Chains A and B, each alone.
Chain A
Amino acid sequence: MSGTARFLRRIAPQLITLAFVLALISVMFPGFFNISIANGRLYGSPIDILNRGAPVALLAIGMTLVIATRGIDLSVGAVMAICGAVSAWGITQGYDLGSTLLMAVVAGLVCGLWNGILVSFLGIQPIVATLILMVAGRGIAQLITEGAILTFNDPNLIFFGSGSLFTLPMPVVIWIVTGLLITWIVRRTALGMLIESVGINLRASTLAGINSRVLLIAVYVTSGFCAALAGIIAAADIRGADANNAGLWLELDAILAVVIGGTSLLGGRFSLIASLIGAMIIQAVNTGILLSGFPPEFNLVIKAAIILIILVVQSPALRTGMAFFRKPRQTDVAKKETVTQ
């Protein structure tokens, strides 16, 4: 099987789900796919999905890499709040756009470094290590904004939230470029494979000569970087930094996007593109519920149902059961099981 065919086969379930959700919405709302151009920018519901899904898509990029190493990063929502607060603080203090953005991104990198050091050097479980920053992060963000919602009017910073480039909204450009860039880096080099091998068996990978410590730190730093971008977008979008609500519960959406994208929480094989499609599925469901006039309260119930379905499909117990009926692939499954041990 050629590479492209294998790739298409890998992301087929996600693409089918996304197409199904979009089709369902467009059946109910015939005008759903109407896209118009006004003031050199595209408008329409599909563009809105791409735009609103930007923070979750960005977080999902970093989260995919972290989950591939058998970790998890609960702190991304809090890191978003910190970086949003830093960017708002910087611009209101009179720094120029470049240094403000630099400070915000550095804040994200430092948060990622902290998580990475806890996980790789102190050997703390990822859930616990990132929990610390998840709890303390919002406090730190409030320390920066001094408890208020820090608003700003700088048109350059606002551009990252509501501006447009090549007729596409800026957040869409940012997440697509970041996603492609990181995919290109991990797939054109051996990095992606090394990350997968660390996720499958940390000890064996270390013994095989992989510098797993540096790799783990790099993965968490990437996650912090993506969270910083998402935080800047979120702050620029509302023209202010809200330490309490920026990125609230987005870590859970990001994890959900990765799980929908078919990356196992037990580490190993990952697909960034599939996670990004997963993020778009979540946003399409959100938009669909809003459009359909269902109360938005149903959103969470539907998300819970989606997680349950995915759990059942991904369950190792079910796979063993399926293997019993599919004789030819039995060896394949057996191989997978020994790998996950």
Chain B
Amino acid sequence: MNSRFLPLLATVAIFILAYAVCYAQFPAMLSTRVIGNLFTDNAFLGIIAVGMTFVIISGGIDLSVGSVIAFSGVFISVMLRDTGLHPIPVFAVLLLITTLFGAAMGATIHFLEMPAFIVTLAGMFLARGMAYVLSIDSVPITHDFYSAIQSFYWLMPGKGRLTFIGGLMLVVFIAGMLVAHRTRFGTNVYALGGGTHTAQLMGVPVARTTIAIYALSGFLAGLSGIVFSIYTSAGYSLATVGVELDAIAAVVIGGTLLTGGSGFIAGTLIGVLIMGLIQIYIIFDGTLSSWWTKIVVGMLLFAFIVLQKGLVWFTGRNRASAAGTS
């Protein structure tokens, strides 16, 4: 079997195991209501995690997404409050801004040959700062369009509700999988993660691909900001602090190699669901405190990184011994 799939299988196994443990303790866990909530509560995290998967597969990192979500929320709420525009044109303008923002970061990374880490750090400061400049208070959103979206859901069998934003997350994941595995852009992203020089020699348009990857991440961060504003009905410049770390953790738990070049969008979905499951378990239990989430996520991160290291080492040794015998 291809060892490429091992991290993904480990993720799926852990998810099933965790769910089984939860189910043994609280049989209500298996109801579609819990599953519906799992999708709704993690919708904004899932959407940025798709963008983050692309970025990490290409060997980069995007620290700006959490701030971009906060900026999006504040931008939408301030625009709706002050201009009286319909939300849809506001969404369009917002997505344009965040996509261009991501593209600008990608261009800086490529043309200035600087580490993605520090460029997106500047982007993180800039987006958070712009959110503060727009408004430091929490701005409520009251618009008929919003309440219409919020009350829209699909009733699953068992009375679970798949809300609009939960469904949107699933659509984004499916689109992400198609882009990653069925388009030339997706192949280019994987090639870039294998090494910039090799990719260049193979004829991958490095500049265009890098810019497109960060533009995609920016676009999805904007979309996630829209989802988050629907989820909370407000825009607040201090919201979603540190969400980029959750997204990175979800991607790593999902089996994507942080060195780039290998990983699956589907794994990220499971990673997001595992993190959501930990939170649901803590809520169900009632006696555990929320900080256990952080510790468990940290331990899972550690386990997965060590697993990946072991795999890389193991395949490397196999290859070396195969070369030695031939």
Interface residues of A (CB under 8 A from B): 72, 122-125, 127-129, 131-140, 142-143, 147, 243, 252, 255-256, 259, 265-266, 295, 297-304, 307-308, 311-312, 314-318
Contacts and interface: CB of A to CB of B under 8 A. Distances in A.
A135 B301 contact: yes
Q: Is the interface of A mostly helix, strand, loop or mixed?
A: helix
A124 B309 contact: yes
Contact of B118 (A133, A259, A301, A317): A259
B115 interface: yes
The 7 A-B residue pairs with the shortest CB-CB distance in the complex, in nearest-first order: A136-B298, A297-B132, A300-B129, A139-B294, A301-B129, A304-B126, A307-B122
A303 B119 CA distance: 12
B161 interface: no
A317 B125 CA distance: 24
Contacts of B61: 127
A140 B301 CA distance: 15
B112 A311 contact: yes
5 contacts: A135-B245, A135-B301, A143-B291, A252-B121, A300-B132
Contacts of A317: 111-113
Contact of A311 (B119, B130, B237, B309): B119
A149 to B, nearest CB: 14
B293 A311 contact: no
Nearest to A248: B241
B122 A318 contact: no
Contacts of B292: 139
Contact of B295 (A129, A136, A301): A136
B258 A125 contact: yes
B295 A140 contact: yes
Contact of B299 (A136, A255, A316): A136
A271 to B, nearest CB: 18
Interface string B280-299: 00000000010111110111
Contacts of A299: 129
A315 B258 contact: no
Nearest to B258: A128
B305 interface: yes
A125 B260 CA distance: 12
B49 to A, nearest CB: 15
A147 B288 CA distance: 11
A265 B126 contact: no
Contacts of A143: 291, 295
Residue of B122, B237, B292 contacting most chain A CB atoms (<10 Å):
B122
A143 B125 CA distance: 30
Interface string B299-324: 10110011001000000000000000
A307 B297 contact: no
A127 B245 CA distance: 12
B118 A134 contact: no
B198 to A, nearest CB: 16
B248 interface: yes
B301 A132 contact: yes
B73 interface: no
Contact of B309 (A123, A256, A315): A123
A72 B299 contact: no
B117 to A, nearest CB: 7
A153 to B, nearest CB: 26
B259 interface: yes
A183 B133 CA distance: 40
B123 interface: yes
A265 B115 contact: yes
Given A301-B129, A317-B111, 6 more contacts: A131-B245, A295-B132, A311-B112, A311-B118, A314-B114, A317-B112
Nearest to A306: B122
Residue of B108, B114, B117 contacting most chain A CB atoms (<10 Å):
B114
Contacts of A295: 132-133, 136
B180 interface: no
Contacts of B122: 303-304, 307-308, 311
Contact of A265 (B117, B129, B130): B117
A307 B302 contact: no
Contact of A138 (B125, B133, B136, B294): B294
A129 B259 CA distance: 12
A139 B108 CA distance: 35
